[in-house]
């Protein structure tokens, strides 16, 4: 999910005189629309208006705080949740949200208190509890954290992740004896999961049960583990057993899984050094130093290898870099002295040896410790914390993989991508212009003709990936709504004015008004010229329906289920029977667009998406295929049709479509194909 900066200055959307007349319930509803569709800046503007008119209400402060959390404004979010709790101290989600903000600010004690208060209202809420566990861990209150974990384990004893977390915390506490049974239980519960074998292998490794650790890692590899730690740590065990060929194969596998793994590259470099493969060892050290310029052990080892191949000046450069940061590191001084001597500079060699001798003597006489650098192989820990991964119902903002700020360079198939259909196409004034992979908006003669008539203030584009509005855009569209409303008051039968205002309402997430205006445009306009109004009305109706289906009251406890996982929220909505009428209205609009513009590929594509929602997959494939016939460059259609084929079990056709989608710029396809290849 792309991140957008929240600008602190608040836009005054309406004059105070008009504000008193605002329908605050409606503004709150529209703000929640914007919040759901990740238009956080816009949602804040709506909640600001409600707060100005009715500052005693709880909801706008709560929702504004949630939006601020999504924008990583944790200070502002904490203040908003303070206001919520001051007005109503009986909302568990407010304590949770404030605790979450405080946790992000490093206020661990205050965050723990908030999570405890939330648990008073909802004693068995796992989201509240895992957050409290995280705060206990940060405060090193391991017994309290373990007590909470035991409670969760009693509720779901077969949950592997909780067992892993308990074992990890016991290790942090220093209780290796107590940790091992948890990993034994994991193996018993899920013996076909390679990661449980890898986890137990790790604890056996650090408790020096090398034979048992190697057996566990062998089992994990046999089960096709994709965990890089499995191969790094088995490589260490093979290395210690003098099985260098097997160790090198393990390190090679680890590097193939993650070409930027410092541990794997460094360990492989040490092994290559030991077997005398100096040139390739230097290549690995170079890679490590490029990734971690501040890693002195890699630079020290490279200096030694430079000496082995007679590159004395390069060795001196590395030794000097280390000595500059660690002036008392005696091995580097002796190493540089040897290099100087080999270059014939006896004076500098003598100076380094004398300094090294003085440091050593001072250490003997005064118990001063020499500076040391850990040059040994690097054990790979079991990465990540299940608790920390589960601790947020808010959209993740900490990592590139989760945030959507992917680099489109290099092995993009390694990115972690949510497997969800591409969105509907819509008309918009805006389109993304990614600097790494510029995205050109789609077009169609009907859109070109519409733009040529200059019925709107700016040209519109056909886009699939909408961009949230900045504050400047928000201000522009609200001003445009006011201006168009004045024009409509003077010319109430002008279809173009309704179309233009409907576009503005759609952009500011005011769906009911947008639908009303598109309907008026259709009513007053020439049906032949209003195909795009039908198209826009269908799109807005679907957004409204999607919000309705997915929306929950964020002040209630059940938000923890509804928003616990962004992937769940983003899944295609399956409509309830009660919404069949609204679904029918949407489909009628797309049908009408196709009747008026049979070659409008984007209506066929959107209709296919709706058919997927209804689980009519064969009909959906037919509609995607028609969209592709009309526009062979429509990568989104290949992507969605490919996912549909795969869902139906036709992997061959699905992969072919995903390959074509990737070729056309839908880079998510490569990640999915990699998953299929590895499954």
Q: Note the pLDDT tens digit of each residue in 257-274.
A: 999 999 999 999 999 999
Query: CA-CA-CA-CA torsion for 332, 333, 337, 343, nearest 10 degrees?
Result: 50
pLDDT digits (tens, 9 = 90+) for 339-362: 999 999 999 999 999 999 999 888
CB neighbour class for 151 (10 Å; exposed up to 12, middle 13-18, buried from 19): middle
Label residue 376 by pLDDT band (50, 70, 90). Answer: low
User: Tens of pLDDT along 526-539?
Assistant: 877 889 999 999 99
Q: How far is CA 456 from the centre of its chain?
A: 37
> pLDDT value at position 425?
92
Measured distance CA(11)–CA(13) in Å, rounded: 6
* Residue ranges of E strands in 460-535: 461-463
Collapse the DSSP code of 157 into the 3-class scheme (helix H, G, I; strand E, B; otherwise coil) and give the result. Answer: coil
Q: What confidence tens digit (pLDDT) does each residue in 36-79 have?
A: 888 888 888 889 989 999 999 999 999 999 999 988 888 889 99
Numbers of helices and strands, H then E, in the chain: 36, 2
The structure's pTM equals: 0.62
Q: Does the pLDDT value for residue 411 go beyond 50? A: no
| Complete domains list, the chain, with CATH | 6-62 (no CATH), 426-552+572-678 (1.25.40.10)
Measured distance CA(389)–CA(402) in Å, rounded: 11
Using DSSP's 3-state secondary structure scheme, residue 340 falls into: helix
Of 17-26, 85-94, 161-170, 346-355, minimum mean pLDDT range:
17-26
The enclosing H or E element of 598 equals none
Question: Could you write out the DSSP letters of every residue in 6-25?
Answer: PPSSPP--S-HHHHTT--HH
d(CA 425, CA 511): 17
Selection from 264, 328, 274, 336 nearest residue 299 by Cα:
336
Burial class (CB in 10 A: 0-12, 13-18, 19+), 282: buried
Please give the C-alpha separations between residue 520 and each of 499, 502, 504, 510, 527, in angstroms, as whole numbers: 8, 9, 14, 16, 12
Query: What average pLDDT does this structure show over 236-255?
Result: 95
The CA distances from residue 124 to 68, 109, 128, 560, in Å, are 27, 21, 8, 12
Say how far apart CA 301 and CA 268 lie, in whole Å: 12
Task: Report whether pLDDT(304) > 90.
Answer: yes
Backbone angles phi, psi at 426, to 5 degrees: -140, 165
Phi, psi of 462 (to 5 degrees): -95, 115
User: Which residues touch 192 (CB under 8 Å, ≥6 apart)?
Assistant: 223
- The answer to whether the beta carbons of residues 334 and 349 sit under 8 Å apart is no
Burial of 286 (0-12, 13-18, 19+ CB in 10 A): middle
Positive or negative, the CA dihedral 71, 75, 78, 80 is: negative
Task: Give the pair of three-digit tokens for residue 138.
Answer: 């940060």
Query: What pLDDT digit, counting tens, does each position of 625-662 carry?
Result: 999 999 998 999 999 999 999 888 888 898 889 888 87
């Amino acid at each position: 999910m792309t991140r957008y900066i929240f600008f602190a200055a608040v836009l005054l959307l309406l004059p105070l005189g008009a504000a008193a007349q605002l329908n605050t319930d409606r503004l709150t509803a529209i703000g929640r629309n914007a919040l759901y569709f990740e238009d956080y800046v816009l949602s804040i503007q709506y909640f600001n208006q409600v707060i100005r008119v009715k500052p005693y209400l709880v909801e706008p402060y709560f929702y504004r705080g949630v939006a601020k959390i999504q924008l990583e404004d944790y200070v502002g979010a904490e203040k908003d949740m303070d206001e919520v709790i001051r007005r109503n101290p009986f909302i568990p989600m407010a304590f949770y949200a404030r605790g979450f903000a405080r946790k992000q600010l490093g206020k661990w004690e205050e965050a723990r208190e908030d999570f405890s208060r939330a648990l008073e209202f909802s004693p068995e809420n796992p989201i509240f509890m895992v957050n409290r566990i995280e705060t206990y861990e940060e405060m090193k209150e391991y017994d309290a954290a373990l007590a909470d974990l035991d409670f969760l384990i009693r509720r779901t004893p077969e949950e592997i992740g909780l067992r892993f977390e308990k074992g990890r915390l016991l290790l942090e506490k220093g209780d290796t004896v107590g940790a091992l049974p948890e990993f034994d239980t994991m193996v018993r519960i899920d013996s076909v999961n390679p990661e449980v074998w890898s986890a137990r292998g790790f604890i056996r490794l650090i408790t020096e049960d090398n034979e048992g650790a190697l057996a566990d890692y062998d089992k994990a590899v046999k089960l096709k583990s994709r965990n890089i730690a499995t191969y790094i740590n088995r490589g260490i065990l093979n290395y210690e057993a003098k099985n260098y060929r097997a160790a090198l194969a393990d390190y090679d596998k680890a590097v193939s899984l993650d070409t930027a793994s410092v541990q794997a590259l460094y360990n492989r470099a040490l092994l290559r050094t030991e077997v005398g493969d100096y040139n390739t060892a230097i290549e690995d050290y170079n890679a490590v130093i490029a990734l971690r310029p501040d890693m002195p052990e890699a630079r020290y080892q490279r200096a030694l290898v430079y000496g082995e191949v007679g590159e004395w000046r390069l060795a001196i450069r590395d030794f000097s870099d280390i000595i500059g940061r660690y002036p008392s590191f005696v091995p580097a001084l002796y190493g540089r002295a040897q290099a100087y001597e080999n270059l014939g500079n006896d004076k500098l060699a003598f100076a380094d040896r004398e300094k090294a001798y003085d440091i050593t003597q001072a250490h003997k006489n005064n118990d001063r410790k020499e500076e040391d650098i850990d040059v040994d192989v690097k054990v790979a820990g079991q990465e990540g914390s299940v608790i920390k991964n589960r601790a947020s119902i808010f959209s993740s903002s900490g990592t590139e993989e989760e945030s959507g700020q992917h680099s489109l360079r290099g092995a993009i198939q390694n990115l972690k991508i949510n497997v969800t259909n591409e969105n509907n196409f819509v008309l918009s004034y805006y389109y993304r212009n990614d600097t790494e992979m510029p995205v050109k908006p789609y077009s169609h003669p009907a859109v070109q003709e519409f733009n040529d008539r200059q019925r709107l203030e700016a040209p519109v584009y056909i886009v699939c990936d909408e961009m949230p509005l900045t504050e400047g855009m928000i201000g522009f569209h609200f001003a445009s709504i006011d201006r168009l409303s004045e024009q409509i008051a003077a010319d109430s039968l002008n279809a173009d004015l309704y179309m233009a205002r409907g576009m503005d309402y759609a952009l500011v997430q005011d769906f009911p008004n947008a639908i009303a205006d598109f309907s008026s445009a259709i009513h007053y306009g020439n049906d032949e010229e209003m195909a795009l109004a039908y198209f826009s009305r269908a799109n807005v109706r679907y957004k409204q329906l999607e919000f309705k289906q997915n929306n929950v009251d964020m002040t209630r406890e059940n938000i923890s289920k509804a928003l616990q996982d962004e992937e769940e929220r983003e899944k295609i909505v399956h409509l309830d029977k009660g919404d069949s009428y609204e679904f029918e209205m949407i489909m009628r609009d797309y049908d009408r667009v196709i009747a008026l513009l049979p070659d409008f590929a984007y209506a066929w594509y959107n209709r296919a998406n709706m058919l997927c929602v209804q689980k009519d997959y064969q009909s959906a494939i037919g509609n995607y295929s028609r969209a592709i016939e009309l526009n062979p460059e429509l990568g989104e259609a290949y992507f969605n049709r490919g996912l549909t084929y795969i869902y139906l079990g036709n992997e061959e056709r699905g992969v072919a479509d995903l390959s074509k989608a990737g070729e056309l710029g839908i880079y998510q396809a490569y990640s999915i194909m990699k998953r299929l290849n590895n499954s």
